[in-house]
Amino acid sequence: MAATDDTAPDSPRPPRPDDGLRLPRWLPRAVVVTLALFACFQLASWAFHQLIGLFINILIAFFVALAIEPAVDRMAARGMRRGIATGLMFLGVTIAFVGFFTLLGSMLAGQIQTMVENFPSYLDSVISWINRTFRTSLSRVAIQESVLHSDWLQKYVRNSASGVLDVSATVLGGLFQLLTVLLFSFYFAADGPRLRRTLCSLLPPHRQAEVLRAWELAVTKTGGYIYSRALMALISGVAHYVLLEILGVPYAPALAVWVGLVSQFIPTIGTYLAGALPILLAFTVNPWYAVWVFGFVVVYQQFENYVLQPRITARTVNIHPAVAFGSVVAGTALLGAVGALIAIPATATLQAFLGVYVKRYEVATDADEPDGSGRRRAEGDRPSLFVRLLRALRRR
């Protein structure tokens, strides 16, 4: 009798109760990979949020370097080293700003002292006008007593005393950011050619030409933007100087320069900072002059926003006024004041760079165009004499 083989391949294995509950072999590895990728994403997101301030400072420094690079290139072409040329540019700008703000600070200190000394007389004149107009019986002594013993004033003094450290930390943080921007912009401007060569060495030759073209466009458009802001600062300064001279406000030339520079080169809040100082000094001459200056600042700002700025910006950086306005709104929504400052040169650079590669076609002017009555010309209609002359000129 032949022996039977228990391990024959035809004999089926009896089913086990846990066969349907066994996990696939790839599932643990997929879970580990998914958790690792999620951890890397969280780490990258955390690092990006921690370094976003540095990225914004580097972006500002890059546009500052683009703005001063034409002047540095001209000095370097005459034999001066780029580092020395960049240092001279920064030194000149720093001396101009320090001298201007020192003069402005001394002027402001003197006017504040005069205003504090004459404040009781100002208050008496305002109170007497209110009493005559509204037939009230207010007195300066009663108003001073009520203000000095009010709860909101004492609470404000306590909160101000407790917030001194916060203000100091904010000032120190702002100074550190300013030094960071100056340092990076110095290196970008001084080592501009070397930086371009380093970036281009990582790209193939046909890509290198595109990078160099984009860099030159950025320099050109940023320079045009700085020119437009300087032109608007000049117009704003002249307009406010005329008003301040008519009203007899002291230090009218310095105030006009202050209004022009601050309102144009500090985005978003620059207008309010620029208008506050002339209003304050006009109040020392006559309280009603402060009202006139305030009204002029508001009206001129609207004229500048809707008439002057779109036209000048469209001519200097060659973008449509609506595109310029929309880019400022978008930049403010994305990066706040920094986005508002760099939105127009960035948009102009992008538009000019895309214009090199986007192909444009001539608009049809013959049978597909509707005529003046709103209907299309029939196929048998002959074109007008003007169209035929235009075609003949094009053939020649």
Does residue 380 lie within any of the structural domains?
A: no
Query: Looking at residue 389, what is its pLDDT?
Result: 55
Q: Does one domain contain both 187 and 256?
A: no
Q: Looking at the domain assignment, is residue 209 inside a domain?
A: no
Same domain, 49 and 175: yes
What is the rounded distance in angstroms from the CA atom of residue 155 to the CA atom of residue 177?
32
**Residue 357 pLDDT more than 70?**
no
Task: Report pLDDT for 364.
Answer: 61
Does this model's pTM top 0.85? My answer is: no
Q: Report the chain's mean pLDDT, rounded to a whole number.
A: 77
What are the distances in angstroms from CA 127 to CA 118, 147, 184? 14, 15, 55
pLDDT category at 377 given cuts 50, 70, 90 is: very low
CA distance 295 to 261: 20
Q: Are residues 325 and 247 in the same domain?
A: yes
Q: What pLDDT was estimated at residue 281?
A: 82
Within a domain: residue 182?
A: yes
- Cα–Cα distance for residue pair 381/83, rounded to 1 Å: 70
- Domain with 328, as residue range(s), is 215-358
My answer on whether 192 and 53 are in the same domain is yes
Residue ending a domain, choose from 202, 224, 244: 202
* Residue 373: both structure tokens together: 């009555």
The residue among 198, 199, 216, 200 whose CA lies nearest residue 208 is 200
Domain assignment present for residue 197? The answer is: yes
How many domains does the structure of the chain reveal? Answer: 2
Whether 244 and 322 map to the same domain: the answer is: yes
d(Cα 62, Cα 222) in Å, to the nearest integer? 11
Q: How far is CA 180 from the centre of its chain?
A: 18
Task: Tell me, yes or no, whether 323 and 349 share the same domain.
Answer: yes
Residues 141 and 221 in one domain: no
Same domain, 124 and 73: yes
Do 222 and 88 sit in the same domain of this protein?
no
Residue 191 maps to a domain: yes
In 78-163, alpha helices (H): 82-134, 140-148, 151-162
The answer as to whether 389 is a domain residue is no
Most confident range, picked from 40-49, 59-68, 350-359, 365-374: 40-49
Q: Is 107 exposed, middle or buried (0-12, 13-18, 19+ CB in 10 A)?
A: middle
Q: 194 and 223 share a domain?
A: no
- The verdict on residue 113 lying in a domain is yes
Considering the chain, what percentage of its residues have pLDDT values greater than 90?
Answer: 7
The alpha-helical segments, DSSP class H, found in 149-269 are: 151-162, 164-190, 192-200, 205-247, 252-265
Per-residue pLDDT reduced to its tens digit, 277-320? 888 888 878 888 889 999 998 898 888 877 887 777 766 666 76
The answer to the question of residue 155 being in a domain is no
The more confident residue out of 167 and 183 is 183
Residue 373, pLDDT > 70, answer no
**126 and 248 housed in the same domain:** no
The verdict on 224 and 185 lying in the same domain is no
pLDDT in tens, 111-121: 677 767 777 77
Please give the Cα distance from 279 to 247 (Å, whole number).
Answer: 12
